[in-house]
Amino acid sequence: MIETVIRKRIEILADGPLVRRVTAAIDAAGITGWTVLPVTAGSGRDGRWHEERVTGADKALVLTIASADKAAALAEALAPVLTSHGLLLTMWDIEVIRGERF
């Protein structure tokens, strides 16, 4: 049977202009990889929204996988901007193969 390791999957929903700040925090936490996915629409506490590139209101989902200690360091680094900039950060345990890569 293939051996798996527990890691944290982290998803961060951010306004487009903040993506570089988020990816810089990921890099600074020592996490070796990330993926940015465009988000075109959604709904939340403040109601529905949709992508609006003209006004710069586009959003992105930044996805990364990390060890628990690196995930905690990332959450700590982003904590000051979670509320002030409306970021949404979620993380949960996942099983990965080749855990040394994360």
Tokens of 102: 């994360």
DSSP conformation class of 48: E
Whole-number Å distance between alpha carbons of 19 and 13? 9
Residue 20 lies in a domain: yes
Structure confidence at residue 48 as a pLDDT band (50, 70, 90): low
Q: Which amino acid type is present at position 37?
A: L
Mean pLDDT score across all residues of the chain: 88
Residue 87 lies in a domain: yes
pLDDT score at 7: 96
pLDDT score at 28: 97
Residue 1 lies in a domain: no
Q: What's 93's domain CATH number? A: 3.30.70.120
Whole-number Å distance between alpha carbons of 25 and 31? 9
Residue 77 lies in a domain: yes
**Strands 88-96, 35-39: pairing kind:** unpaired
Number of domains in the chain: 1
Q: Name the residue range of residue 57's domain.
A: 6-101
pLDDT digits (tens, 9 = 90+) for 69-87: 999 999 999 999 988 888 8
Structure confidence at residue 57 as a pLDDT band (50, 70, 90): low
pLDDT, mean of residues 54-68: 84
Which has the closest alpha carbon to 75: 58, 88, 85, 84? Answer: 88
- Three-class SS of residue 8? strand
Structure confidence at residue 51 as a pLDDT band (50, 70, 90): low
pLDDT score at 100: 77
Which has the closest alpha carbon to 57: 46, 49, 48, 66? Answer: 49
